Amino acid sequence: MGVMAELAAMSNRGATAPVLDFAVWVKAEQPRIFLLCRRMLRDGEEADAATQDVFWKAFKALQNREEGVISDPGRWLTRIAVNTCLDRLRSRRWQFWRKRLEPSEEAWILTMSAVQEPNAEDQIFAAEIERSLAQALSRLSDRQRAVFTLKHYENRTLEEIAEILELDAGTVKAHMSRAVAKLREDLKDLYQAVAKRRTI
């Protein structure tokens, strides 16, 4: 089955995004995948390359697909994205000479990438939250970060995360417990800041 036919079939089966062709599907999923990659890799440039890799892998997989159905294209694509990021993180360990972004640079990129209208304050606050969480997430291991990112940002259940990462549910819960334990104070601060802002 060709790519277009597969995507059309996904669309007919009531996929999460209205999949008409590959380009439309890319446009619908691209911001989510790019943000997921950026949160996992903590590097805008690398996230850009990773996002391109993710869609290229998806395209190839669909092209080589002979039969069978993808019951949840969004989840399938998320799995490709997480695995791509984990591969990059593994290879990154050898690239000790690579340039690391300073937290201030990350904040600047995030603020600049936010559109300063019409609710500019909300956008700046959102960028601030994103920056704080990004900093906190840097203390987690690769697996813990993958689990936490899928739970926090994509609101997936631990069972779903286990399926995406192809891990045992108990292992995922253990990773999540350790991640929450490491981030406990940051998360408390974050929720307090949000609560305070909402009462202003």
Partner 1 sequence: MSKHWTDEDFLNHLYEVGPGDGHLESCLECRARWEQWLKLRRFTLNPPTLDPGLLARQREQILARTQHGESTGRGKRWALAAALAGAVLFALLARAPNLVPSPENDSERMLLSKADAQLADAQLMSDVYHSVYQSEPGAVEAVQGLFEVDP
Nearest to 11 by CA among 21, 2, 1: 21
Pick the stretch among 7-15, 45-53, 64-72, 78-86 that binds partner 1 (CB under 8 A).
45-53
Q: What's the length of the chain?
A: 200
Instruction: Name the minimum Å distance from CB 11 to partner 1.
Output: 18
**Minimum distance between the CB of residue 5 and partner 1, rounded to whole angstroms?**
15
67 phi-psi bin (left φ>0, alpha ψ -120 to 50, beta other): beta
Contact call for residues 175 and 147 (beta carbons, < 8 A):
yes
Site for partner 1 in 56-95 (CB under 8 A): 56, 59
200 binds partner 1 (CB under 8 A): no
CA atoms within 13 A on the CB side of 6: 21
Amino acid at 146: A
Q: Rg (Cα) of the chain, in Å, rounded?
A: 18
Is residue 115 near partner 1 by the rule CB under 8 A?
Answer: yes
With CA atoms as reference, report the closest residue to 77 among 61, 64, 88: 61
8 A C-beta contact, residue 52 and residue 38: no
**Binding residue (CB under 8 A) for partner 1 from 9, 61, 101, 187:** 187
Axis-axis angle for helices 142-152, 73-92 (nearest 10): 150
Q: Which stretch binds partner 1 (CB under 8 A): 64-72, 78-86, 111-119, 137-145?
A: 111-119
* Residue 22 sits in the site that holds partner 1 (CB under 8 A): yes
Asked if residue 31 binds partner 1 (CB under 8 A), the reply is yes
Residue selected from 52, 83, 135, 171 as contacting partner 1 according to rule CB under 8 A: 52
User: In angstroms, how far is CA 15 from the centroid of its own chain?
Assistant: 19
Counting beta carbons within 10 angstroms of the beta carbon of residue 58, is it exposed (0 to 12), middle (13 to 18) or buried (19 or more)? buried
Q: Which is nearer to partner 1, 138 or 157 (CB)?
A: 157
Stretch that binds partner 1, among 75-83, 99-107, 138-146, 171-179 (CB under 8 A): 171-179
Residues interacting with partner 1, by CB under 8 A? 22-23, 26-27, 30-31, 34-35, 48, 51-52, 55-56, 59, 110, 112-115, 122-123, 126-127, 129-130, 133, 148, 151-153, 155, 157-158, 173, 176-177, 179-180, 184, 187-188, 190-191, 194-195, 198
